[in-house]
Amino acid sequence: MTSASPTIVRIAGAIVEANPMPGASLYELAYVGERRLLAEVIRVHGDTAMLQVFEDTTGLRLGEPVAGSGSPLSAQLGPGLLGSLLDGVGRPLDRLAATAGDFIPAGVAAPTLDATKQWEFSPTAKVGDTVRGGDELGLVTEQHDFVHRVLVPPTASGTVVEIRAGTFGCDDPIGSLSDGTTLRLSQRWPLRIGRPFERRLPPDRPFITGQRVFDFLFPVAEGGSAAVPGGFGTGKTVVEHSLAKYGDTDLVVYVGCGERGNEMAEVVQEFPKLVHPVTGRSVMSRAVLIANTSNMPVAAREASIYLGVTIAEYYRDMGYRVALMIDSISRWAEALREISSRLQEMPGEEGYPTSLSARFGSFLERAGRVTPRGAGRGPGAVTIVAAISPPGGDFSEPVTQAALRVSGALWALDANLAHQRHFPAVDWGTSYSLYADGIAPWFTREGGEEWIDTRAELSALLQKDQELREIAGLVGLAALADTDRLAVEVAGLVREVMLRQSAYDPNDVRSSPKKTYALALRCARLFRLATAALTAGRALHELPIAEAGARLVATRDAAAAEVEARASEVDAVLDRLRIPVAA
């Protein structure tokens, strides 16, 4: 007697129930219906399995067959990922568009990597070598000069019995191990399981963004995580563009998760035009784009961020530093809410699942700076920057609050600053960083010895400025004491020189740690010396505050080779504020 084949017994949008599936396992990949729609098992009850379908279920009927694959949803990883544009489950959109048109019909499949493309493989391992997961087998060069390290799959180990040099496709055998494992240029890894590493390293190095407000006031550690909440028009996308172009990272993985199609189209058009200042080539040659727009199925939106972090971990294991940009995590949370409601789970605040914080926290745990498995490679890192789109800019909504609980840094974007054309529109009163103390020694060593004290001094000045402006709004600025008016005036210079940055000025679009320190140190000295001059009896209007401000602006706008000379001009003005020492 043969057992019955599983068929569809219930359909609710992207959720499908199939019966009987007695051997189904959680998160197993399955194919649904006559069109073999891609799906994933998300609940098993007896012989009934509930699946979320990653494609459009329009036209799906009860009684259509369901087939399990026996393996989880996985990413195909190997040469050819760089420069690619994928959908939320790893299908190449450019090749699908060439075969199926711009609007991809349900049931169309294609492997992530182009099996017809040939790669020149140079082995570094030799026959007889004992290897384990993460050890290097050889090298492939792609995108002109990028060294792609071909590694032993994480779960494999043994003695190399065959390895060949030559030109191969990503699925062609290049060798084998003593246990019979076939070695290829590509490998697969489940999306929802973090790739193993040797050990996690402390967050003692910064992820240099090139943006002064981030690097100086709210730094993120290399391998850390940052949440970027902001309402419509506050510049979240521009911030991520700037990080992709000027951030101190080897690779960028950009996930467009549920955003509008025209925004993702802008990213696809702009990334190839952005030129990396170090390599001189397009940012796209060091990037992987994952597009899952708002009109695509919600289940694929939920899976897209796991695809992104799996790709980022793959390059991390080669010893590279990877920045994972997600725009936005709010759309991922909305996908969770829709799936949760169809599963008839108990809703939490505003209908989001009660597990929202836990799931976001477990995802961010895949960020980190680590020692990868295998010998001869330095540390690798995955740094996650996740944009959040709170409705109406309300930071009290559940997704933003969940991010506050698990993110290492918060870069809160303020609509009022954006309306004032102050960019990056970072609210320095709301934003914070939990990494500042851990990476302070690096900034002291590489930026300047007074970095920590200067940061604390200017942070206190900005806080005092907010309080004074509230008072001045009631009694007027002229009613304040000279010391308070000085604080407001210098804080205005700090906002102009330190916190505002022009994306159109080639000299100001990126600020090195040394330039950032030079500007911050002189702003702090200006406030200290001017305060001392007032205490000594000099009048506020006699102090050269405006001249010092003009010199600071000139230093900010100077080319890298001229910063030191312009800073000396600021020092000359500050010397006039010093109180002469009595003989």
Helix (H) or strand (E) holding 240, with range, is: helix 236-246
pLDDT of residue 1 exceeding 80, the answer is no
- Tokens at 248, concatenated: 């101190």
- What is the average per-residue pLDDT within 88-100? 89
Phi, psi of 344 (to 5 degrees): 60, 40
Enter the DSSP assignment of 392.
G
Which range is least confidently modeled, 93-97, 192-196, 270-274, 461-465? 270-274
Q: How confident is the model at residue 237 (pLDDT cuts 50, 70, 90)?
A: confident
Q: Name residue 121's beta-bridge partners.
A: 140, 166
Q: What is the pLDDT of residue 107?
A: 85
Q: Can you give the C-alpha Rg of the chain in angstroms?
A: 27
Query: Cis ω on the peptide bond leading into residue 502 (within 30° of 0)?
Result: no
Domains, the chain, with CATH or none: 7-73 (2.40.30.20), 111-188 (2.40.50.100), 199-436 (3.40.50.300), 451-575 (1.10.1140.10)
For 492-514, how does the pLDDT look when each residue is reduced to its tens digit (9 = 90+)? 999 999 999 988 888 999 999 99
- Tokens at 283, concatenated: 């940012």
For 366-383, how does the pLDDT look when each residue is reduced to its tens digit (9 = 90+)? 999 999 998 778 899 999
For 560-577, how does the pLDDT look when each residue is reduced to its tens digit (9 = 90+)? 999 999 999 999 999 998
For 340-349, how does the pLDDT look when each residue is reduced to its tens digit (9 = 90+)? 988 888 899 9
The four Cα atoms 315, 320, 321, 322 give a dihedral, to 10 degrees, of: -20
Q: What is the pLDDT of residue 583?
A: 40
Letter string b/e over residues 104-128, b meaning 16 or more CB atoms within 10 A of that residue's CB: bebbeebebbbeeeebebebebeee
Q: What is the pLDDT of residue 99?
A: 85
Q: What is the rounded CA–CA span in Å between residue 462 and residue 445?
A: 25
Q: What is the pLDDT of residue 582?
A: 47
pLDDT of residue 214 exceeding 80, the answer is yes
Which range is least confidently modeled, 233-242, 257-266, 387-396? 257-266
- What is the average per-residue pLDDT within 134-147? 93
pLDDT of residue 580 exceeding 70, the answer is no
pLDDT of residue 581 exceeding 60, the answer is no
Q: What is the pLDDT of residue 368?
A: 96
Angstrom distances, CA of residue 578 to CA of 126, 483, 535, 567:
69, 16, 12, 17
For 446-496, how does the pLDDT look when each residue is reduced to its tens digit (9 = 90+)? 999 999 999 999 999 999 999 999 999 888 888 899 999 999 999 999 999
pLDDT of residue 44 exceeding 50, the answer is yes
Enter the DSSP assignment of 214.
I
pTM for this one?
A: 0.94
CB proximity list for 343: less than 8 A, separation 6 or greater:
15, 42, 43, 50
Pairing verdict, β 287-292 and 85-86: parallel
| Tally of CB atoms within 10 A around 534 | 19
Enter the DSSP assignment of 221.
B
Closest CA to 168 of 91, 280, 80, 257: 80
Q: What is the pLDDT of residue 3?
A: 66
The SS3 assignment for 264 reads helix
* % of the chain with per-residue pLDDT over 90: 75
Q: What is the pLDDT of residue 211?
A: 95
pLDDT of residue 524 exceeding 50, the answer is yes
Q: How far is CA 506 from the centre of its chain?
A: 24
Angstrom distances, CA of residue 448 to CA of 113, 410, 454, 498, 517:
46, 25, 10, 16, 6
Enter the DSSP assignment of 207.
-
